[in-house]
Amino acid sequence: MQPPRFIGSEIYRGSSYGARHPLSIPRVPTVIDLCRAMGWLPSAQYINSPRAKSDALTGWHTQAYIAALKEAERTGHVTPETRARHHLGTLSNPVFPEMFRRPATAAGGSLLATDLIAEGGAVYNPGGGTHHGMADHAAGFCYLNDPVLALKALLAQGLTRIAYVDIDAHHCDGVAAAFHGEERVLMISTHEARRWPFTGALDDRAGGHAINLPLPRGTNDSGFAMALHEVMLPKLQAMRPEAVVLQCGADAVAEDPLSRLALSNNAHWQAVALLQPLSPRLLVLGGGGYNPWMVGRLWSGVWATLNGYEIPDRLPERARSVLAALTWTRRPAFPPDALIDTLRDAPREGAIADDLRAAIHTLRARQAAWV
Ligand SMILES: [Zn+2]
């Protein structure tokens, strides 16, 4: 079988959402540079992401929305009507020079990935994972919804057992909206409880058999491992998915400024390692992640995990210098040495909150009732 492939693009290096936006930080470029510095990204495994054409995007998005998005990029501004209907030109989804081309590149990457894994294999598109995009409007920093487009493409291949697993700190409301009641797509989402977008409650099954597990504030590696081993893995093992799409948002770690979860990157890497053998086809996407050092380290470790590379305790100087060159407008502007010297965080194990145990128990009981 082909080795895993990495889909990237230089467009992520040359654009941001604006200096004051949480996505002003480099993320995909850091992963590319770090993985190259580690010798983990030979050119044979790297694919330059194509940009999705409008026709491909209207597989989920409305033509009016795509036209409005392109027009906003072309003119550099939006009308009050466009802002009201399509939520463009807002604080979370601002007008910026690549506001169509950049998300269309992420979407093109995820669509290409579904072709690449049609006969099996694993593909990583860290620029993807924009799970809040809605059919007719932008939301939550997402302009397009590449996970939805990828899942629809996998359905179009004739697959009937597809798992979408989302471990971002925020609920995947756009994906949930697209596949409400769709029995061929099993959605499993862990996300911080009582956080925007405030969907994905424990009892929300998205019209079918979706699993939503809200994680209490402060959930650590031990709590996540319990969710992984007692809910996610048994469900996936029973399902025997033909394809897994994993949204691996990096914002559930303790250092992230936009959530109050307390995972270490070991939690994400363990999820990748344990999900990979469960399906012949795997597409791993990025997602949230707003601390530049944490995102770069976590997502580089995802690529190492997919390839079975050993992650050294101390980074070689070339890789260190990639992390040392990053700056941040938030505090701390410069991180502790551990975020520059290593990829792996210290594990954050500890007590598991009673309400998380109760939620996992509820989901286990629900699964047992289906068997
Ligand atoms: Zn998020």
Helix or strand or coil: residue 73?
helix
Cα(290) to centroid(ligand 1), Å: 9
**Distances 270 to 31, 285, 327 between C-alpha atoms, Å:** 18, 15, 28
Peptide bond into 29 cis (omega under 30): no
* Distance, CA of 266 to CA of 312 (rounded, Å): 14
Please tell me the pTM assigned to this model: 0.98
Cα(132) to centroid(ligand 1), Å: 9
Domains, in order of start, for the chain: 5-369 (3.40.800.20)
| DSSP state at residue 194 | T
State which amino acid sits at residue 293.
W
Cα(191) to centroid(ligand 1), Å: 8
Cα(250) to centroid(ligand 1), Å: 7
Mean pLDDT of successive 10-residue stretches along the chain, which has 371 residues: 94 92 96 98 98 97 98 98 98 97 98 98 98 98 98 98 98 98 98 98 93 98 98 97 98 97 98 98 98 98 98 97 93 84 98 98 88 49
Dmax (CA) of the chain: 55
DSSP letter string, 147-164:
HHHHHHHHHHTT---EEE
The pLDDT score that the predictor gives to residue 67 is 98
Helix or strand or coil: residue 360?
helix
* Distance, CA of 88 to CA of 95 (rounded, Å): 7
Provide, for the chain, the percentages of residues in helix, strand and coil under a 3-state DSSP scheme, each rounded to the nearest 5: 40, 10, 45
